[in-house]
Structure 1
Amino acid sequence: MAAGGAKGGIAHRSKPAPKKAEAKTLKRKRGQEDLGKLQEAVKQLDPKSPDIKKFTDLPLCEATASGLRASHFEVLTDVQRAAIPLALKGNDILGAAKTGSGKTLAFLVPVLEKLYHARWTEYDGLGALIISPTRELAVQIFDVLRKIGRNHYFSAGLVIGGRGLKEEAERLGRMNILVCTPGRMLQHLDQTAGFDVNNLQILVLDEADRIMDMGFQSAVDALVDHLPKTRQTLLFSATQSKRVSDLARLSLKDPEYVSAHEAAESSTPTNLQQSYIVTPLSEKLDTLWGFLRTNLKSKIIVFLSSGKQVRFVFESFKRMQPGISLLHLHGRQKQVARMEITSRFASAKYACLFATDVVARGVDFPAVDWVVQADCPEDADTYIHRVGRTARYESKGRAVLFLEPSEEAGFLKRLEQKKVPIQKVNVRETKKKSIKNELQSYCFQSADLKYLGQKAFISYTRSIYLQKDKDVFKFSELDLDGFAESLGLPGTPQIKFQKGEDIKRLKNASRAAVSSASDTDSDGEGGKRKKEQVRTKYEKMAERQNQDVLSSHYRKLLGEDAEPASDDDEADFLSVKRVLDGDAELDAAAGGDATSAEPKVVKLGKSELVIDSHRREKLLKSKKKLLKYMDKGTKLVFDDDGNAHPLYELQDEDDFAQQGPADTLRQQFVAAETEKVKEADVADKQLAKDRRREKRERQKARERGEEVEKESGALPQLGGGGDSDDGGEDEDPLALLRSLPVAGGADVGESDEEQDGGREPPKKKARKWFQDDSDKEEEERRERKKTKGGKRVIEMAHEPDNLEDLEALAAGLLED
């Protein structure tokens, strides 16, 4: 056996090993054969076959199948069973299914298969584009894509904003699959150079009805214009649109409509328990507080209509500490904060999330027990998407809707049209608790919370007023004073709505004129003022008629009877100023009456300023504020003769045309400027040449020990005067440094003869007690080197022509 083993080993070594190129060729051939078999299986696939129940029944590549197995996806849902086979055959799809039915996998599996069949690589560019209406949903889609596509070699990216545009642009060119939001993607298509989408194979729109509505219409239209026409398009949503205009905008070709639950009795999951509560607007927060206190061990999402309401309810309830973890999420938060809050709520066991509709579509929060809609949604589709956050994937869930009495009949009719079963429930009296006093106390203590309450009131009333469905949202029947009081506000906030000249006149009216009615007695005693009395802070606040916050219910607390509202007042939408009827009252508010004289007119340059109020009279005392009414001056330039001319004199077009063709004039101008440049260049070169020659001559003279006379135009030298020949007009800026005194009384500007005649030769220094003979000889040698023939000589490599050289020269002269 040993020999046989040796012989076998010798025979194995004598066999030539296969080369790497041959191995790659064989692997490529096997891959092509597998791909051919897979494509043939797709062609033979029957999309409506009842035998397709699991992912293993579909002709999928091994990379996709293994990713699905690793992510524990085995059984197909209804929408997946209906949409994936059609998408594998290359059809455009309009998919509609209930929330939580698995629409994400219904388009992610075809995306991976489409690129795999096309043998897509990183060098082919962008192959698939998935568009989501919200950032949270885009992040969720991207996470699922990473799970099921873990065995593919495609590169995937997430483009949702929150980072710098340049940082995202650097990675776009290497991505095969992009998950994005419409606005950010359009920004890259317009601004990122080299971003190519001409090879796009498949386009996916998740929550397509939201993407194609008026909020995203312009962005989607512009985005589709950048994309190629020859592509596959998949649209999925819980409430799908069949409008021809939408289909034409997206260039769909014979789309297949897939509605997995079209024949179902309900458009919401059957395991979802739905109910509604009729509560007045003034008791809405009380009902919400009682609901939270009753369901402390639950996971709750509370939907509100605006981000300002979310902030106010979150901040006020957080101060009251209901006993459950509170979170809030709205569109104005930074991306990092939104991601963190989403992650915290998804991982929490018991928590309450106050949110706007940014998480109403597609976002999958696990194990949500309750969905509370504190504000009525704008339509039935929004209701369906909101309640879809619970009862997902055959799990149970409950939803409750708060309706104002005026909204009940209209909205129940809308839900009935959408086949949404819902039943009415009543709140137990024992569970009701008023929190108005607590909120009022917190708003009184915190100006920030009161400000949030005012903004929440304004945003809610404005949203109700602007709703299109007037059969549901009846603004005139809302109890706004009661709502403001329930928020803890000291009065009903006012919103500017009335516009026009009347508002301008009221705005310019003095405060004393507007509030004159409250300062005078109207009982027929000739307009005498009432006796001054001590007033509280709230009495003063209630008398302010032209402020942002009116305190109507404080008047009730003070015992004053509220004035009945007239029909004209009801027609106005929360006007900031008082509504004055007639020109007479308007003129009186402006500081006069209808029969008074015309207002004073002041001329300011070419314009006129009408003084019709005390505010305008005060304006005349401020020069700074009057500048905007004055005419702007014109800049002038003066010629040599002292004549003024405009700063820019533009030639008439006809005069310019008479001078000749523009090309000829341009050539003449260029030729003239070229000659000027040449002449200046010759002069500069000659000047530089003369300076270099003078410098060499002075260097040679210095080496011979000769004196160098200063010539006109040259820099002053040591021993020469500091003035030029023209009487000092071109004064040397370094002359002052040269005139500094030298040690021993000599000036830099004196010649050697003047220095010798004005002082005695330097004496030898006495030897110090610590110096020996060698030190003395060295010192004498240095002295002899410094002085030759009784003259002080300083050696320099070149002529001092800048400040540093002169400083070094001065330092040498000052040495002992």
Structure 2
Amino acid sequence: MKGRKGRNERKQRRQQEFETIAKINEAATRPNDYVNVKTFEELPIANKTLEGLKRANFLELTDIQRKAIPLALAGRDVLGAAKTGSGKTLAFLVPLLERLYRAKWTPMDGLGAIVISPTRELAMQIFQVLRKIGTQHDFSAGLIIGGKDLVTEQERVSKMNILVCTPGRLLQHMDQTAGFDCDNLEMLILDEADRILDMGFQKTVNAIVENLPRKRQTLLFSATQTKSVRDLARLSLKNPEYVAVHETSDTATPQNLQQHYLICELPKKLDILYSFIKTHLNTKAIVFFSSCKQVQFVFETFCKLHPGTPLLHLHGKQKQTKRVEIFNRFMSMKSAFLFATDIAARGLDFPAVDWVIQLDCPEDADTYIHRVGRTARYEAKGQALLFLLPSEEEALMQELERKKVAVNHIKVRPNKQHSVQNQMQSFCFHEPELKYLGQKAFISYVRSVYLQRNKEIFKVQDLPMEEFAASLGLPGAPKVKFIDKSLAKNASRQPATKIVAELEGTEEAEEEEVSSDTEEPTKVHIGANGRVQADEEESSSEDERDSEEEEKDGHKENEQQESESEESDGTEKPAKAKQKSITKVDRMFNRRNQDILSEHYGKLIDHAGDAAEDDEFMTIQRVNHELESDSEEEDISKPTSKRQLQMTKKERIKNMKSGERLVFDDEGNPHQLYEMQTEQDFLKAGAPAAQQAKYIGETTEAMKDADLMDKQVAREKRKEKRLARKLREREAAEGHEPITVTLGSPDDEGGPMADEESSEEEEAPQEAPRRKKQRILEVEQPETLEDQEALALQLLRA
């Protein structure tokens, strides 16, 4: 009776749950009725979700949640845009739980929802919030990010209902995990959608979307939402609802955020930053840099300066365990300075951050908005400080004004500044590792400025290289190759007016056309107004690609070195030779060895040896490795990558793969040392059981024969010992001198011989007394034991 009563109660609870789901579904179809609600209890959501929200202390709705959640509960695609710290995470996690709950999702149904985040730290934060509010539901959720054990994830990922992941790791599981299935996916969510849809994740996102079903609900959220039709078409959105709660507000940043910027020269940045840290020791702040090398260098040097407050650093080159440790430490600390790259600029909710300092200029206004959004979260207060160079002020301020970002200008008090240049020089002088890291930081900063798209803000030619290197403690500015090549290309690029003059038939245009530096002719086209227009954008993009390729190849010589070599030879090229453009293939065959001893080695070698008429004895000639590229053997001493260029020859030989051991048959053909037999060839000899029995039988017979042979040999040895003992006893009884006889076995070479060592010693000329000669009989080798006994008797009678 009790079992029947329990079944009836469970049946009634399920029936009530189905009725509740039906009511919620009906109420969710009218999203306009919930525009003015203020709490989660007024929304059409399940009691399990409400209980999880209460336990996590989420009671009231924010503006983005009030407008986005009802639309998402109605099953529509949503584009959500709101200020940083406005509660966008709950705006998509609550609809996610409700979607699976209404669909009666069980662990047997497989994967139902995917949340994609651009960074690992943001994915971890979303997963923690999901665990807090989803405690009353029975769904299984997993976090898959890079840096974790892939095999462990592959064992569990097929059992998950909800996945919070990064794009690269998700695509890796789609390609490599056998049980990973997305055919029943109900919802796709992209947090920081504008970052995920940009050029950095373009190929990855396209590959992910191809594996997902088209019948799904898609939610996109970000502080700077994309409106590109092309991006939305890639995700197959159906009539998406655009929700921008702060689009009509006066500022795009939080109202409680105080924003400042200061103008300083590049060499003074670290001095001002260190002075700021010394005057704000009880402050929790984040300092943003443009590259990982800068973060490492400034962190290492400032730790040696002992500013009096904890220092942390976070960047993408660290291992995952280290990143998680630093992330959790900064979350729990009350005062500290975190040096970070833009990896910490999006979505991360660090509690009680007082200051956000941007030591390097952001690439655009959107990046600035996301950086300063790490402080003044929700209703808290915060301050932001931006460092700008004089060449960056005007263009960036105009872009920030277009984005409704108001920044106030401030000045630095001279009496509060502390110079750390002398200490930095001392550190780099005494520690070569720190000097090397400073050189990398210098190059990485210059590269970041050089690769920025907005050239009105970022002007690499205006950077004071020598002064900046001195501020880092370096003895001189490292050579930056890509800038020299860029300047050479810009100088060689001819303006469109030259082509116009050429079409007009002027003679000056013909003289200007002769140039040995240009690699590709400038492309032109005739516009609608009949004027000749140069295709500058295409040529500039091609030049940038060429410069990047040349930067990777450490063997290529620039055009300035080629001209210097021509001047040193005292020869001049004719005009026709100058007209011929030098292609990349020509430069590849003309480049020389760039190893450690290249300068000394070049003095010993006659590069013009092909033109010599007489071959002298012991003449050193240069081996042309490029012409031997068809050979199968690989040259150990020739580096093949940029990393190998920095390695010595011993290191390259040490890192080589060991060769394979081969055996040769009678005909001289090589074979592997161990070769596996195919199953068909193995079965030709019979069934496995029969082959096993046959092998055991043959081995057993061979062992028996070997045992018999061993026993026979042991018996013969014992007989030999007994016979030798009898001979010695008989000699002692008859009074003869003992004669040592060696009885050989049938396998030994030679026969029995008397011991001649004593007789040979007695025949030495120093010994005066004459001794009796012993008689030695030479007989043939005995073959049997009977022959040995007869030989012994014959020796006794002699």
What TM-score does the superposition give when structure 1 sets the normalisation length?
0.67
Distance 1:79 1:616 in 2: 69
1:265 is paired with a residue of what secondary structure? coil
Letter in 2 for 1:27: R
Q: Distance in 1 between matches of 2:333 and 2:720?
A: 87
Amino acid at match of 2:721: A
> For residue 477 of structure 1, what is the aligned residue in structure 2?
462
Q: 1:616 to 1:759 in 2, by over 3 A?
A: same
Query: Residues 718 and 421 of structure 1: is their aligned pair in 2 closer, same or farther, counting only changes over 3 Å?
Result: closer
1:686 Cα deviation from its structure 2 partner: 12
1:488 aligns with 2:442: no
Partner secondary structure for residue 349 of structure 2: coil
- In structure 2, C-alpha distance between the alignment counterparts of 1:609 and 1:349, rounded to whole Å: 58
Offset at 1:174? 1.0
Residues 686, 757 of structure 1: alpha-carbon distance in 2 compared, 3 angstrom cutoff: farther
Q: Does 1:468 align with 2:453?
A: yes
For the 8 Å contact 1:159–1:185, the answer to whether it is kept is yes
Higher gyration radius (CA): 1
Q: CA deviation at 1:634?
A: 9.7
Q: 1:747 to 1:588 in 2, by over 3 A?
A: same
Q: 1:738 to 1:329 in 2, by over 3 A?
A: farther
**For 1:159, which of 133, 144, 161 is the aligned residue?**
144
Tell me if 1:42 matches 2:42: no
Shift of 1:27: 2.7
CA contact (8 A) 2:34 2:66 kept: no
Give deviations 1:698-750, integer Å, cap 9, x for gaps.
99xx9xxxxxxxxxxxx978779xxxxxxxxxxxxxx9x99999533577657
Give the 3-state SS of the residue equivalent to 2:218 in structure 1: strand
Which 10-residue stretch deviates more, 611-620 or 17-26? Answer: 611-620
| Matching of residue 174 in structure 1 with residue 159 in structure 2 | yes
Task: Report the counterpart of residue 601 of structure 2 in structure 1.
Answer: 615
Find the partner of 1:64 among 49, 54, 58: 49
Q: 1:117 to 1:624 in 2, by over 3 A?
A: farther
Give the Cα separation in 2 of the matches to 1:585 and 1:264. 62
1:596-635 matches, within 5 Å, as: 615-616=601-602, 618=604, 626=623, 628=625
What letter corresponds to residue 743 of structure 1 in structure 2?
K
- Of 206, 209, 213, which aligns to 1:224? 209
Aligned residues of 1:307 and 1:330 also touching (Cα < 8 A): yes
Distance 1:498 1:247, change over 3 A: closer
- 1:29 maps to 2:15: yes
User: C-alpha separation between the residues in 2 aligned to 1:630 and 1:121?
Assistant: 65
Is the contact made by 2:359 and 2:386 (CA closer than 8 Å) also made in structure 1? yes
Q: 1:21–1:358: structure 2 CA closer, same or farther, 3 Å change rule?
A: same
Which of 40, 55, 59 is matched with 1:74 structurally? Answer: 59
**Alpha-carbon distance in structure 2 between the residues aligned to 1:634 and 1:326:** 53
Q: CA RMSD in A?
A: 4.3
Distance of aligned partners of 1:304 and 1:614 in 2 relative to their CA distance in 1, 3 Å threshold = closer
Partner of 2:110: 125
Contact (CA 8 Å) 1:740, 1:748: kept in 2 or not? no
Counterpart residue number, 1:586: 565
CA distance in 1, matches of 2:621, 2:143: 53
Q: CA shift at 1:374, angstroms?
A: 0.2
Match of 1:337, SS state, is: helix
Alignment correspondent of 1:662: none
Superposition pairs of residues 200-239 of structure 1, within 5 angstroms: 200-239=185-224
2:403 to 386, 394, 418: 418
Number of the residue aligned with 1:439: 424
Distance in 1 separating the partners of 2:12 and 2:227: 49
Matched, 1:368 2:353: yes
Aligned 8 A contact 1:303 1:373 in 2: yes
1:180 and 1:216 map into 2 onto residues whose CA distance is 14
Structure 1 pair 375/16, CA: closer, same or farther in 2 (3 Å)?
closer
Mapped pair 1:134 → 2:119: yes
Report the CA distance shift for 1:586/1:154 in structure 2 as closer, same or farther (over 3 A). same
SS in 1 for 2:105: coil
Contact 1:585–1:593 under 8 Å retained in 2: no
Question: Which piece of structure 1 moves more, 391-400 or 16-25?
Answer: 16-25
Instruction: Report the CA distance between 1:338 and its aligned residue.
Output: 0.4
The structure-2 alpha-carbon separation of the partners of 1:622 and 1:638, relative to structure 1 and needing over 3 Å to count, comes to farther
Query: What does the per-residue CA deviation read over 1:1-50, in whole Å, with 9 as the maximum and x for residues that have no partner?
Result: xxxxxxxxxxxxxx87634433332332222122222222223x433644
Deviations 1:273-308 (A, max 9, x none): 001000111111111111111111110100000000
Distance 1:116 1:260 in 2: 28
Q: Percent identity?
A: 51
Other-structure match for 2:135: 150
CA gap of 1:418–1:24, structure 2 versus 1, over 3 A, is same
- 1:397 Cα deviation from its structure 2 partner: 0.3
1:415-441 residue CA offsets vs partner (Å, 9 max, x unmatched): 001000111000011112221111111
Q: Which residue in the other structure is 1:110 paired with?
A: 95
1:450-500 residue CA offsets vs partner (Å, 9 max, x unmatched)? 111111110000111111101111111111111111111000011222899
CA distance in 1, matches of 2:251, 2:460: 31
1:167 Cα shift? 1.1
AA partner of residue 25 (structure 1):
K
1:200-225 deviations in whole A, cap 9, x for unaligned?
10000000000000001110000111
Q: How does 1:491-530 map to 2 (within 5 A)?
A: 491-497=476-482
- Report 1:210-359 matches (<5 A): 210-359=195-344
- Distance across 1 between alignment mates of 2:271 and 2:791: 107
CA distance in 2, matches of 1:619, 1:78: 76
**What SS class does the counterpart of residue 232 from structure 2 fall into?**
helix
Deviation at 1:594, TM superposition (A): 2.3
Separation of aligned partners in 2, 1:633 and 1:388: 59
Distance 1:609 1:207, change over 3 A: closer
CA contact (8 A) 2:34 2:43 kept: no
Letter in 1 for 2:571: A
1:694, 1:461 → 2: CA distance? 79
Question: Cα distance, 1:687 vs. partner?
Answer: 13
CA change 1:753–1:614 in 2 (3 A) is closer
Rounded to whole Å, the distance in 2 between the matches of 1:317 and 1:593 is 53
SS of residue paired to 1:261: coil
Is 2:743 the counterpart of 1:743?
no
The answer as to whether partners of 2:35 and 2:66 remain within 8 angstroms in 1 is: no
- C-alpha change, 1:741 and 1:609, in structure 2 (3 Å) is farther
CA distance change for structure 1 residues 27 and 633 in 2, over 3 Å: closer, same or farther? closer
From the superposition, tell whether residues 694 and 330 of structure 1 become closer, same or farther in structure 2 (CA, over 3 Å): closer
Distance in 2 separating the partners of 1:688 and 1:38: 75
Q: Name the SS of the counterpart of 2:392 in structure 1.
A: helix
Where 1:65 maps in the other structure, the secondary structure is helix
Deviates more, 1:305-314 or 1:156-165: 156-165
Rounded Cα–Cα distance in structure 2 between residues aligned with 1:646 and 1:309: 57
Q: Are residues 490 and 119 of structure 1, via their aligned partners in 2, closer, same or farther at CA, if it must alter by over 3 Å?
A: same
| Amino acid in the other structure paired with 1:215 | G
Q: Distance in 1 between matches of 2:245 and 2:591?
A: 71
In structure 2, what residue type is equivalent to 1:586?
Answer: S
Contact 1:48-1:82 within 8 A present in 2 as well: no
TM-score after normalising by structure 2: 0.68
User: CA 1:119–1:593 in structure 2 vs 1: closer, same or farther (change >3 Å)?
Assistant: same
Aligned length: 604
For residues 276 and 578 of structure 1, do their structure 2 counterparts lie closer, same or farther at Cα, with a shift above 3 Å needed? Answer: farther
The amino acid of 1:488's aligned partner reads: G
Contact 2:117 2:166 in 1 (8 A): yes
Structure-1 separation of matches of 2:717 and 2:249: 107
CA distance 1:610–1:138, shift in 2 (3 Å): closer
Q: CA deviation at 1:324?
A: 0.9
Q: Secondary structure at the match of 1:439?
A: helix
Whether the 8 Å CA contact 1:267–1:419 is kept in 2: the answer is: yes
Which residue of the partner structure matches residue 391 of structure 1? 376
Q: Is the contact between residue 312 and residue 326 of structure 2 (CA under 8 Å) also seen in structure 1?
A: yes
